[in-house]
Amino acid sequence: MKLLRFGPKGAEKPGLLDAEGAIRDLSGEVSDISGEALGDETLTRLRALDPSTLQKVEGTPRIGACIGQVGKFICIGLNYADHAAESGMELPQEPVIFFKATSAINGPDDTVEIPRGSVKTDWEVELGVVIGKEAKYISEEEALDHVAGYCVVNDLSERDFQLHRSGQWVKGKSADTFGPIGPWLVTRDEVADPQNLPMYLEVNGHRYQDGSTRTMHFGVAMVISHLSQFMSLQPGDVISTGTPPGVGMGQNPQTYLKPGDRIELGIEGLGVQRQSVVAG
Res 112: pLDDT: 98
Distance between the two ends of the chain, CA-based, in angstroms? 36
Question: Which residues touch 274 (CB under 8 Å, ≥6 apart)?
Answer: 108, 109, 262, 263, 264
Over residues 240-254, the mean pLDDT reads 95
Return the pLDDT at 69.
96
Across the chain, what does the average pLDDT equal?
95
Element (H, E) at 170: helix 170-173
Residue 16 pLDDT > 80, yes or no? Answer: yes
Compute the distance between CA of residue 107 and CA of residue 183 in angstroms, rounded to an integer.
Answer: 7
Measuring CA to CA, which residue among 187, 18, 148, 125 is closest to residue 70? 148
Q: Residue 226 — very low, low, confident or very high, per pLDDT cuts 50/70/90?
A: very high
pLDDT at res. 31: 97
> What is the pTM for the complete model shown?
0.96
pLDDT digits (tens, 9 = 90+) for 179-211: 999 999 999 999 999 999 999 999 999 999 999
Span 162-167, mean pLDDT? 80
pLDDT in tens, 25-80: 999 999 999 999 999 999 999 999 999 999 999 999 999 999 999 999 999 998 98
